[in-house]
Amino acid sequence: MVIPLPNARTGQRARQAGMLATELVASISLLVFVLIPVGLSLGMERQLARRYYHRAVAAEIVDGEMEILAAGEWKSFPAGTRIYPVRAAAATNLPPGRFVFTRNDPWVKLEWIPDRPRGLGAIQREARLPSPANPEDAR
């Protein structure tokens, strides 16, 4: 059996292999501790932006419909609570939910309630109805 004696060449290769392994460990740790959390935070930011978008769309629809109701459309609904039909095309961009109209004299309320909130709560608006004694009472 022949045992090779260490020479300068094998020592140099061993040092290069050790440096390569060190660089590999450093690059993997950089990937784990920096790039993966950045990627995850971008995904969470995308979800948050989607929630803000849904909330803005729901608020715009509720505001527009509430203006129509406050202008006098509320008279066509009897007192009580019911599902309110919305004809806005933007409602297709919302997650599953429902618009609920409540007439409880002297107030009317319109709200959008999502089926699964997921950080997105109900959007609601209320308006005071004018009293029959004083029609200028509307606010």
- At 78 the pLDDT is 92
Q: Does 8 score more than 60 pLDDT? A: no
As a 3-state breakdown, the chain gives helix, strand, coil percent values, each rounded to 5, of 55, 20, 25
**Tens-place pLDDT, residues 76-103:** 999 999 999 998 999 999 999 999 999 9
- pLDDT band, residue 136 (cuts 50/70/90): low
61 vs 88: CA distance, rounded Å: 7
**Tens-place pLDDT, residues 98-129:** 999 999 988 999 999 999 877 778 999 999 98
Task: Name the average pLDDT for the chain.
Answer: 86
